[in-house]
Amino acid sequence: MRSRRSVLRLIGLGGVGSLGLMVACRTSPPAVPSGGPPATTAPIVPGQATAPPGVAAPTTAPAPATNAAIKRGGQATILQTNDFVSMDPVFASGPTASACYDYLLAWRPNPDGTYGVQPLLARAWETSADKIVFHLRDGIKFHDGSDLTADVVVWNINRMVQNPKSFARNYLSAVDANNPATATDPLTVQLNLTRPSAAVLSSLSDATSNGGGTTAIVSKKAAEDHGEEWLALNPVGTGPFRFVSFTSGDKLQVQRNENYWRTGADGKPLPHLDGITYRVIIEATTQFNELRAGTSDFAQNIRGRDVPAGRQIAHAHYLESPFSGNKRQYFFNSLKPPFQDNLNLRQAIHHAVDREAIARAVGGGFGFPLPYEFVPGSIGYDPAVPYYEFNPDKARAQLQASGVTMPLEVRMTVHSREQDVQQAQLIQQMVDKIGIKLNLEVVERVAWGEKVRIQNDFQMASRQSGVQVDPTDDLLVTWAEGGNSAYHRAHVPGLIDTLHQADAEYDAAKRQALFVEAQKLMYESAWFGYIWFEPGNFLVHNRIQGFPAAWGSLREAEWWIDPSV
Q: What is the pLDDT of residues 456-503, one digit of tens each?
A: 999 999 999 888 778 887 898 899 887 778 999 999 999 999 999 999
Look at residue 24 in the predicted model and tell me its pLDDT: 28
The pLDDT of residue 265 is above 60: yes
Look at residue 67 in the predicted model and tell me its pLDDT: 59
The pLDDT of residue 512 is above 50: yes
The pLDDT of residue 28 is above 60: no
Look at residue 55 in the predicted model and tell me its pLDDT: 35
Look at residue 352 in the predicted model and tell me its pLDDT: 99
Q: What is the pLDDT of residues 426-463, one digit of tens each?
A: 999 999 999 999 999 999 988 999 999 999 999 999 99
Q: Could you tell me the pLDDT band of residue 43, with boundaries at 50, 70 and 90?
A: very low
What are the structural domain ranges in the chain?
A: 32-297+543-561, 326-536
Q: What is the pLDDT of residues 515-561, one digit of tens each?
A: 999 999 999 999 999 999 988 889 999 999 998 755 667 899 999 99
Look at residue 115 in the predicted model and tell me its pLDDT: 73
What distance in Å separates the CA atoms of residue 438 and residue 432, rounded to the nearest whole number? 7
Q: In this structure, are residues 533 and 189 in contact, taking their beta carbons and an 8 Å threshold?
A: no
Provide the percentage of residues in the chain whose pLDDT is more than 70: 85
Mean pLDDT of the chain: 86
* Mean local confidence (pLDDT), 257-273: 96
Q: In this structure, are residues 452 and 331 in contact, taking their beta carbons and an 8 Å threshold?
A: no
Q: What is the pLDDT of residues 52-105, one digit of tens each?
A: 223 333 344 445 555 579 999 999 999 998 888 889 999 987 788 999 999 999
326-536 folds as Dipeptide-binding Protein; domain 3 (3.10.105)
* Mean local confidence (pLDDT), 212-225: 92
Where b means 16+ CB within 10 Å and e means fewer, 436-450 reads bebeebbeebeebbe
407 exposure class (CB count in 10 Å sphere: 0-12, 13-18, 19+)? exposed
- Least confidently predicted of 40-44, 190-194, 507-511, 534-538: 40-44
Based on DSSP, count helices (H) and strands (E) in the chain, helices before strands: 16, 19
Pairing of strands 436-443, 408-415: parallel
The pLDDT of residue 223 is above 80: yes
* Mean local confidence (pLDDT), 151-171: 94
Look at residue 20 in the predicted model and tell me its pLDDT: 29
- What's the CATH number for 32-297+543-561? 3.40.190.10
* Mean local confidence (pLDDT), 386-398: 98
